[in-house]
Structure 1
Amino acid sequence: MTDEEYRAFYASAFARLVGQVYLLTGDVGEAQDAVQEAFIRAWSRRRRFAGGDEPEAWIRTVARRIAVSRWRSARSRLAAWRRHGPLADVPAPGVETPLIVAALQRLPEEQRRAIVLHHLCDRSVDQVAAETGAPPGTVKARLSRGREALRQLLDEADRSDTIVTLESRHV
């Protein structure tokens, strides 16, 4: 099947396949998404759809499998939610958050990752070491150096903010 033939096939079969998958899933939005995903997957196989092959049957089967897979994932998420309950309310970021993010971005990636995992994700040094593939001693060194660099960067930001505030009062 050439590219042009595939495009024509898509134009003629999409609505029909959505209707069929809708009857299987009971959700028109899910049917549209699943059929679209199946057509995307079929694009790389379009040259194999020749002669006796039935591209519509292949796409319908793939779309049904995609819909079932999504349904199973949703069911698993619901079961987990029922087991664990809703997530606790997370407070909104404070006014200092942009300063911290900007300071973290200026740290070397290894130090930033160690600080975020240890201090913000509540991971132990051993857990950070396992996740990053670095020895615990290296993680401790990265945390120490990163905290010191972060302190200096935040002090710098605080001093510049104070200067801007003082300068704006004299205007």
Structure 2
Amino acid sequence: MSDPTTTGLDGVYRAEFGRAVATVARLTGDIGTAEDAVQEAFAAAVRTWRRDGVPANPGAWITTAARRRALDGLRRESARGGKEREALRATPAPAEPDDPGLPDDRLRMIFTCCHPALAPPARVALTLRFVCGLRTTEIARAFLQSEATMAQRITRAKAKIRQARIPLRVPPAALLPERTPTVLAVIYLMFTEGYFATSGPRAVRDELCDEAIRVGRLLCDLLPVEEHAVRSEAYALLALMLLTDSRRSTRRTTGGELVPLDEQDRAAWDRAGIRAGLDCLLIAAEGGGPYLAQARIAAAHAVAPEWAATDWRAIVAAYDELMSYAPSPAVAVNRAIAVGMRDGPERGLAVLDEIADDHPRAAGHPVAAARADLFRRAGRPSDAVPEYRAAIAAAGNDAARGYLRRRLAEAEGAARTHPSPAAGS
């Protein structure tokens, strides 16, 4: 039987690890020191909480314990005589005290993880680790690499930050435009990991969705009005997140199972969030780019009063626009689904077949799940069954597997009573 304290601590770890590291790193000026202190704090929590119970504010407990451990470690280092100057030279200076205009530790951490001195794969790995709070094994799975390889990448990136003395700060206003596009990509990565959790027991990580939107708002407020292009891009991302997030509460059953878009209770969608997203979309409309195209897709879903009234022509057009900016197998698969909704499931299946021909490696959960759903909608349950099985095998999230298993059972039942007709009949 699992230990309830340890089980509950896993949720606290996912919710609070990144926040705690960001706070302690600001105080110490070093991500590695902060990470070690937070890890020690969680180890202490296992012992203490098992004895005394989980505190009312576990995140504050972890951050306070980590801060004390980090400061104690720095005091010990400074007491080692001749090593003091060496330690000071090796450790970046702590971030500047809170400025009323730049109040956020998480935003500082994002800009540090996205510093141009770091290679793009390292930026993503650091963000997943220190902003999203994913464990190394989870990041390795996302990169399709071994845990040892990913651990080395993260270690080298932390060493680069230390050796290059990259400061934990939001850059000066003059550097914001050139640094912002990378930061926007990281904020979106943070949001998507919250909205579509790649692993773990939950389909949605609410704390990451909330943090991504909050940090996205902060960034929009920071950007100068005269920087039209990058400001439009930031507002497009904020619109995309707000419009998508408006459906978050309806994406799960009380048991945690995923609810597809066509089965969600639209009356329960967050109307204030939709209005805020549409307002941001108006600001972003003067620009362009992939976030704007995706925000238009999210807006088409958000304003449709019911599934049958969805403007699939507008959605396919937005996917065509998105493909011109950021072509990828994943975008192509989603476009094929939209084509299937606009022109019929058989046409969508044909487009998916074209994708498979062009991208033979574009297999796995998204493609199999898309094919399964289109087969189901086409009244071909026997063809849907193997696709659902393939999607289940490739899914990394417990809640996603639960939803797919339900669909598989439905398809198997339908296949027994109504065998699939031949394609095109």
| TM-score, L = length of structure 2 | 0.18
Quick check: which has more Rg, 1 or 2? 1
| TM-score, L = length of structure 1 | 0.42
Q: Answer 1 or 2: which has greater helix percent.
A: 1
